[in-house]
Amino acid sequence: MSAPFPYALIEEKIGYSFRNKDLLIEAFTHSTYANAFGCKDNERMEYLGDAVLQMVVTEWQYTRDKRADEGDLTKERQKLVCEDALYQAVLSLNVKKYLRIAGSKANVGKKTISSLFETMVAAIYLDGGYENAKSFILRFGIHEILGGGKNSKGALQEFLQKRGEDMPVYQTEKFGKDNEPLFRASVSALGETAHGEGKSKRLAEQEAADKLLDRLQNDEKKAKKPRK
């Protein structure tokens, strides 16, 4: 007899309580498990979650960085919603172990794990609407992914040092709910400024540094291109 599905544990980890618990269990049900036990799988949710994720990320980019052109926005969005990024987001939530799959979980591929983020997005969207899905993506997707595994602050500092430029200047402020605080950071260098947000000061500054470094590197590449 299988153990009861850990609804409360997952809800605590993802910061959302479901009214319709069936949506949560569907989000965690792989097609192999569904075929073996005759229940719904999460493939349709993956499709819906991908669309919601794309919309939230696009809206977030459009309203936050008014200087970025279409090419810059597309490049950043690809980084935010790629398989590796979503895989890391699922790992950071520590919910991989709750996936219902037939056979050994040790052999579960990265794509299957990464798609779990999209199915959770879809489940929250269906249960609580766009704003709740958006809140989940911003808290556990974007702010974990940008700067998550990289030392963007160090990379930006190294970039400037190699060119004999002044060190970047950071400013950070705290906002949001007392029990769910967020941080907003800005970083300035070479007359350019970029902004970031995160669940900690470090993540906010890393995001800002990542965006500024990307912009400065692109500017440098454009300046070096020979004119036709």
Enumerate the active-site residues: 50, 118
**Cα 82 → chain centroid:** 9
| Nearest alpha carbon to residue 212 among 146, 149, 162, 148 | 146
How many other CB atoms are there within 10 angstroms of residue 4's CB atom? 6
| Nearest alpha carbon to residue 57 among 153, 140, 149 | 140
Crossing angle of the two packed helices 110-128 and 130-137, in degrees rounded to 10: 140
CA-to-CA distance for 108 and 59, rounded, in angstroms?
A: 32
